[in-house]
C-alpha cells in the first residue's frame, strides 16, 4: 500500500494511493502520523478502500506533494552504512552502527525548494532508504522482531554540509545535517509487504548527471539489524523516521563538485518514487 500527504505546506491532506487513483483519508485520520500508524491506521485504510467508503481525489497531480509522514518526534540516522561510501569518506567500514540525529524540521516534501545554508561551501546530497516506525520499539529481543515495528519505507535525501559536519563538528556530525529542509522525504510511504526492502536500487543525479547507483543489498547493517540495534539504546516511537545510510557517489568523495545555487538534485529508489530539489542561497 502507498500513502502520501498532498496539499499546501502545513495543510497537507492524508491520502491512500491505489494504482492511478488517489483517495482522501480525512474521514479516518487528521494526518499520517504516529497516532494513525499506532492505531491500526494502515489496516483501517485498507478496509475502507475495500468497502468503497473513501472519496477519490479528482486531480491529485495538481497538488503539492508533502512529506508522506507528519513531523516525526525523532529522525535517527545511520552513517557510513555502505563500505564504498565509508572508503570515499576516508574511513574503514564501521564495526557497529554509527548513529547521529537530524531535527524534525529538516523533514520537507520531496520536491520542495532547498536553501543552501549561509557560509556553506560543501552542501552534499545523499540518497537513502528511510524506515518509518509504526509500533513502539524498545529493547527488541532480535532483529527478526524489527519488521513488526515498521510501518513502511520512504525515499530520503540526507542533505549534508560537510564543513559543518566534519570541520566544525566538535566531535559529532549533526551540525552538518540539521539545516531547515535538509531532509526531503517521499513522495510515498510504502508498506513492507510491497517491497523487497533489502534489495532496492538507489540512484541520484545532479543537473541530470548520474552520481550514485547502488543497492540496499550492499548495506553493512541491514534494516532489521538497524531497528533492533537502535532499540537497545532508545525507544523508537510510531511515526519516527530512521535513515539507513547512503552509498558511494557523493561530493565528499572529491570526484564531483558540491551543490551550488541553481543546481537540481534528483534521487530515486525503486518502488519508492523519485524526488527533485532546486537549490538557492539562503536569504
Rounded-to-integer distance, Cα 278 and Cα 139, Å:
40
pLDDT value of position 171:
82
Q: Which residue has the cell 520537507?
A: 108
Phi, psi of 170 (to 5 degrees): 70, 15
* Mean predicted lDDT score pLDDT of the chain: 96
Q: What is the pLDDT of residues 66-80, one digit of tens each?
A: 999 999 999 999 999
Rounded-to-integer distance, Cα 65 and Cα 111, Å:
7
Rounded-to-integer distance, Cα 58 and Cα 202, Å:
32
Average pLDDT rounded to a whole number, residues 36-51: 97
Phi, psi of 76 (to 5 degrees): -110, 135
Q: What is the pLDDT of residues 169-201, one digit of tens each?
A: 888 899 999 999 999 999 999 999 999 999 999
Q: Give the domain ranges of the chain.
A: 2-64, 75-281
What Cα–Cα distance (Å) separates residue 170 from each residue in 118, 166, 174, 228, 238? Answer: 19, 8, 10, 28, 31
User: In which band, very low, low, confident or very high, does the pLDDT at 88 lie, cut at 50, 70 and 90?
Assistant: confident
% of the chain beyond a pLDDT of 70: 100
Distance between first and last Cα of the chain:
39
Rounded-to-integer distance, Cα 243 and Cα 281, Å:
26
% of the chain beyond a pLDDT of 90: 94
Q: What is the pLDDT of residues 110-144, one digit of tens each?
A: 999 999 999 999 999 999 999 999 999 999 999 99
pLDDT value of position 91:
79
pLDDT value of position 83:
86
pLDDT value of position 122:
98
Helix residue spans in 30-74 (DSSP H): 34-38, 41-51
pLDDT at 161 over 80: yes
pLDDT value of position 247:
96
User: In which band, very low, low, confident or very high, does the pLDDT at 84 lie, cut at 50, 70 and 90?
Assistant: confident
CB atoms within 10 A of CB 243: 26
CATH H-level, domain 75-281: superfamily: Fumarylacetoacetase-like, C-terminal domain (3.90.850.10)
pLDDT value of position 277:
98
pLDDT at 89 over 80: no
Name the more confident of 86 and 183: 183
Residues whose CB is less than 8 angstroms from the CB of residue 55 and which lie 6 or more positions away in sequence, other chains included? 23, 24, 27
User: In which band, very low, low, confident or very high, does the pLDDT at 90 lie, cut at 50, 70 and 90?
Assistant: confident
pTM: predicted TM-score of the whole model, two decimal places: 0.96
pLDDT value of position 60:
96
3-state secondary structure 123-141: EECCEEEEEEECCCECCCC
Amino acid at each position: 500500500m502507498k500513502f502520501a500527504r498532498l496539499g499546501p505546506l502545513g495543510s497537507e491532506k492524508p491520502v491512500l494511493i491505489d494504482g492511478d487513483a488517489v483517495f482522501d483519508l480525512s474521514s479516518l485520520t487528521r494526518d499520517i502520523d504516529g497516532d494513525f500508524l499506532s492505531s491500526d491506521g494502515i489496516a483501517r485504510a485498507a478496509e475502507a478502500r475495500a468497502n468503497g467508503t473513501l472519496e477519490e481525489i479528482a486531480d491529485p497531480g495538481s497538488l503539492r506533494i508533502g512529506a508522506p509522514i507528519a513531523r516525526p518526534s525523532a529522525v535517527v540516522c545511520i552513517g557510513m552504512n555502505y563500505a564504498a561510501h565509508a572508503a570515499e569518506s576516508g574511513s574503514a567500514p564501521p564495526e557497529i552502527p554509527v548513529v547521529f540525529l537530524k531535527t524534525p524540521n529538516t523533514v520537507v516534501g520531496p520536491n520542495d525548494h532547498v536553501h543552501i545554508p549561509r557560509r556553506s561551501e560543501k552542501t552534499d546530497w545523499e540518497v537513502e532508504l528511510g524506515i518509518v516506525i509504526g509500533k513502539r520499539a524498545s529493547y527488541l529481543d532480535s532483529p527478526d522482531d524489527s519488521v513488526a515495528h515498521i510501518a513502511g519505507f520512504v525515499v530520503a535525501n540526507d542533505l549534508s554540509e560537510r564543513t559543518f559536519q566534519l570541520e566544525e563538528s566538535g566531535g559529532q556530525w549533526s551540525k552538518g545535517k540539521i539545516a531547515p529542509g535538509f531532509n526531503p522525504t517521499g513522495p510515498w510511504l510504502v508498506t513492507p509487504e510491497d517491497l523487497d526492502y533489502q534489495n532496492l536500487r538507489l540512484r541520484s543525479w545532479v543537473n541530470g548527471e548520474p552520481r550514485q547507483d547502488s543497492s540496499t543489498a550492499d548495506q553493512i547493517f541491514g534494516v532489521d539489524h538497524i531497528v533492533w540495534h537502535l532499540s537497545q539504546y532508545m525507544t523508537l516511537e510510531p511515526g519516527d523516521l530512521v535513515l539507513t545510510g547512503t552509498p558511494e557517489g557523493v561530493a565528499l568523495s572529491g570526484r564531483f563538485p558540491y551543490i551550488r545555487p541553481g543546481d537540481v538534485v534528483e534521487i530515486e529508489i525503486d518502488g519508492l518514487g523519485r524526488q527533485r530539489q532546486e537549490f538557492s542561497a539562503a536569504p
